Structure 1
Amino acid sequence: MSASSSLPTSASRAAVSRSPWRSLRHRSMRWWSAANFVSNAGTWMQLTVQNLLVLQITGSAAATGLSMSVQAAPALFVSLLGGAAVDRWHRRLTVAVSQALLGAVAFTTALLVALDRIDMPALLVLAAVTGVIATVDGPACALLGNDLVPVEDVPSAIGVGSLVHSAGRLTGTALAGVTVGFLGTGAAYAANGLSFLFVAAVVPFLRPAPGAAREAVAEAPAAPARAEMSVREGLTFFVRRPRLVALAGITGISSVFGRNYGLTLAVLVTGPLAGGAGAFGTVSTVLAVGGILGAVLGARLHRPSVRTVGLLAAAGALLQVVAGLSPSLAVLLVLVLPMAVVESVSDTAGTAVLQTDPPAHLRGRVLGVWSSIGTVWGLGGPPLLGLLMEWAGARGALVAGGLLIAGSIGAGLLVRRRGGLVPVALAAKDGDVTGRSALGTAA
């Protein structure tokens, strides 16, 4: 079924098709969103207490950072293999198994904590195992959600997922303190284990909606030959696909110079604007509110393109430039809200392109490539930004970073307008997110 044939045909449903909640019309998507909320709450409950546990064991902030790096490291080295596994294996079965395995790791940690047998080497091993499983679980869960709704509802599914993530984070963080206070640290890990099992129990009952982006069960037997399921094919497709390379470039430069507000705005508020921790807390709250509003607006998108992502990222970068020149905290607060909104809408649009542009049999590997690239940005971005702040200060870093982002995106738009067919061009017309593959065999 084509994307156009799955569009609502009655006038009464026209407005629904633009609603940010339209993906929730589908029963399986409602169950999947509920399961994701429970899982996110459990995950953030565990993450909140994990740092406290490491500090309790070692008394070292450096050890806390090490445990986080060990868990993130597999995304850099194993994500390509994890993405290939997602393309090769039955989608729902993959999610159910990976969630059950993550639950087993959480229960193991809870048992070790309860028996007072936990130490730093054991925590690092468990963190590494969690990171490896996540290289499969992450893309599998993302694509499973898209499998449940029609193609035109994918942006809504992604926006709803972002809202669920935010709600789960707030809930999990709040429950962590209560749980540890009344039941102990091990109970938080056990609760996370139960949340994983809940997701695994829901998955077998999920069914794609008519016109869904991909019916994983039906397509599994007709998947491409094993020779075409290699990691290399996914990497080659990504490199030869100009719009994906452009998306990576936009997201990369924005992540390094425009998204680390926890660092740049913290220094700006507590430094030049002479605010304290409370003032930065207010800025962080406004950022969170803007992110939620942006997720709702992003969910209203119908067929976002790389050009959409680029224009939104450039707009956010220009707002960042003005924010860097803010004469007072009040002015900064006025600017922070639209900055967060634009960033969130851009993220939703970019994720929709990333998850719908590749052919169905390549999407897991494309997400694996993306995860590896994103890990490089995550690890390398803060040090680079820190060096820029050392040289130019908080204001200078915000202004220079914003101009660099906007200038790079503007240059890409000019190259495309002049007909340049280079990878950095913003190669996508609005609405064209299902174009032919750059590889002849991946149409």
Structure 2
Amino acid sequence: MQSTFAALRHRGFRVWTGACLVSVVGTWMQVLGVNWYVLQETGSAARMGAAIMLQTLPVLVLGGLGGMLADRLPVRPLLIATQLAHAGLAAALALIAWSPSGGDLALVYAVSVLGGAVAALEGPVMGRFAATTVPQSALGNALSLGSLVSSLGRILGMSLGGVVVAAAGPAVLFGANALSFAAVVLAVLAIRPRDLHPLQAPAVDTAPKARGGALAYLLRQPMVLITLGLALVLGSLGRNYQVTMAAMSDGPLHAGAGGYAMLSTVFAAGTVVGGFLAARRPALGYRTLIGAGLVTSVLQVLAGLAPHTWSFALAMLPIAAGAVLIDTTVATRVQLDTRADMRGRVLAALAMTSSVAGAAGAPLLGLLSEQAGARTALVLAGVATVLASAAAGAAMARRAGLPLRGRQLRLTLRATLGRPVPATA
């Protein structure tokens, strides 16, 4: 079994990971600050949710453009430009919040939209650059450690942000976030060319390159399409736990705000556990994806039936760990099993899939919780994701030309889903 921190042997990855931790902490401090500021100014949770939604919508519109730029232009200048843009927007939020008469919420919403637009362009560029900080053999471990850093940064950012916003107000959080982007800029400048590793196509991808854009390329990659489809279902119905945890806390568990805060903390801790589990796996194959999808889906059904807050929390911990394992496996497979020259556009497709899952799943689960109850929403969504995971596993086995009946299916899934499947150009 490989070392949990194998990717950290590479200098470029160490520098990049340290900078990302600083940036992630600043980002989550700003997320908390924006939510608090809008809620303080309006007293409306719905308007707070609108600010969050406005940050995700640009990904659906500009994600493809970001992927194309990542594949066609030098990534270092693009990364520096996006970090400076983020810093400028965070500074603008600080000025709005520092305004003696109170800032115009229209300006906050405008900054949210612009921030989402920059993030849509930045995501594929950052993903492509990060993939070059380690050799191809260490990419899975690097992505796992990246998930771990994101989880730790979220916990630190939200915890530190809660203290700072109470003591000094949200403007300080925005200013701190503006400064945090300097860490990424310095890392990009500090990483030497010899610290980087060129992207490689998957070893099985020997067919000549065909013409066409990202969509045409993806349509010729059935394993990647199945992976993205399962990620969409799991992300929409099997995720969005901020909605279902709130509904359970306010409803059948009668846990109130304190219980919701406790569950959020448990979930965050579970994501850290998931990061360690993913980092310790020598390979993140399709078998891991299907297995984690099935396990978390069954646990979601059990969570919907949990009688007490503590039993619900016990289910949330492994669910959160499984969610990180799923996300990391999906990110690993779509990068390792696609052509290097299409990497940015494939990452953009993954970002768009995640955005659709969040934008569609959150209101759907919220409506289902209101109409049928939080328990029913969790159980029905869990059953749906169990079926989706099983169907995806069967489709992957069929794609590999494997038998699909009874014990043979179980054995072939166990034996083959961890192996790469030939990709076409």
- Tell me if TM exceeds 0.5: yes
Q: CA deviation at 1:184?
A: 4.5
| Offset from partner CA, 1:383-441 (integer Å, 9 cap, x none) | 222343345422222222222211222233334445688xxxx9x944545x65433xx
Given the alignment of the two structures, is residue 395 of structure 1 paired with residue 381 of structure 2, yes or no? no
Contact 2:300 2:319 in 1 (8 A): yes
Distance in 2, matches of 1:108 and 1:402, equals 42
Q: Deviations over 1:81-137 (max 9, x none)?
A: 111111111122221221112112222332344454841222222222211111121
Q: Residues 212, 122 of structure 1: CA spacing in aligned structure 2 closer, same or farther, 3 A cutoff?
A: same
| Aligned counterpart, 1:285 | 265
Structure 1 spans left out of the alignment, 5+ residues:
1-14, 216-223
Are residues 65 and 283 of structure 1, via their aligned partners in 2, closer, same or farther at CA, if it must alter by over 3 Å?
Answer: closer
Indicate whether 1:243 and 2:228 are aligned.
no
Given the alignment of the two structures, is residue 43 of structure 1 paired with residue 27 of structure 2, yes or no?
yes
The alpha-carbon deviation at position 315 of structure 1 amounts to 1.4
What's the offset of the Cα at 1:209? 7.0
Q: Which amino acid aligns with 1:55?
A: L
The two structures have a TM-score, normalised by structure 2, of 0.86
CA distance in 2, matches of 1:371, 1:412: 20
Q: Note if contact 1:102-1:130 (Cα within 8 Å) is conserved in structure 2.
A: yes
| Aligned residue in 2 for 1:376 | 356
Q: 1:323 aligns with which of 286, 303, 311?
A: 303
1:147 pairs, out of 132, 138, 156, with 132
Unpaired stretches in structure 2, ≥5 consecutive residues: 201-207, 402-412
Secondary structure in structure 2 of the residue aligned to 1:304: coil
Query: Secondary structure at the residue paired with 2:213?
Result: helix
The answer as to 2:184 corresponding to 1:199 is yes
Provide Cα deviations, 1:242-296, integer angstroms capped at 9, x if missing partner. 1111112211111222112222233334433443333333333222222111111
Alignment pair present for 1:164 and 2:149: yes
In structure 2, the CA distance between the partners of 1:56 and 1:407, relative to structure 1 (3 Å rule), is closer
3-state SS in 1 of match to 2:368? helix
Question: Which amino acid in 2 is paired with 1:87?
Answer: D
Query: Within the alignment, does 1:333 sit opposite 2:333 as a pair?
Result: no
Say if 1:279 and 1:193 are closer, same or farther in 2 by CA, change over 3 A. Answer: closer
Partner of 2:205: none
- Structure 1 outlier segments of 4+, above 6 Å: 208-211
Counterpart residue number, 1:438 = 424
**Structure 2 counterparts to residues 120-131 of structure 1, below 5 A:** 120-131=105-116
Q: CA deviation at 1:180?
A: 4.1
The 1-side partners of 2:63 and 2:213 are apart by 14
Q: TM-score, normalised by structure 1?
A: 0.83
Residue-by-residue CA offset, 1:50-77 (whole Å, 9 max, x unaligned): 1222234444433322222222211111
Match of 1:109 among 75, 93, 96: 93
C-alpha root-mean-square deviation of aligned residues, in Å?
3.0
For the 8 Å contact 2:70–2:128, the answer to whether it is kept is no
Between 334-343 and 189-198, the greater mean CA deviation after superposition? 334-343
Contact 2:123/2:351 (<8 A) preserved: no
Q: CA deviation at 1:233?
A: 1.1
Alignment of 1:188-267 (within 5 A): 188-207=173-192, 212=197, 214=199, 233-267=213-247
Does the C-alpha gap of structure 1 residues 380 and 60 become closer, same or farther in structure 2, counting only changes over 3 Å? same
**Aligned residue number for residue 310 of structure 1:** 290
SS at match of 1:67: helix
Q: Which moved more, 1:386-395 or 1:252-261?
A: 386-395
Over residues 135-174 of structure 1, what are the superposed CA-to-partner deviations in whole Å (9 max), with x where a residue is unaligned?
A: 1211222222221112221122112212221222222223
Change (3 A) 1:130 1:321: same
- Checking the alignment, whether the CA contact within 8 Å between 1:319 and 1:335 is kept in structure 2 is yes
Amino acid corresponding to residue 125 of structure 1 in structure 2: A
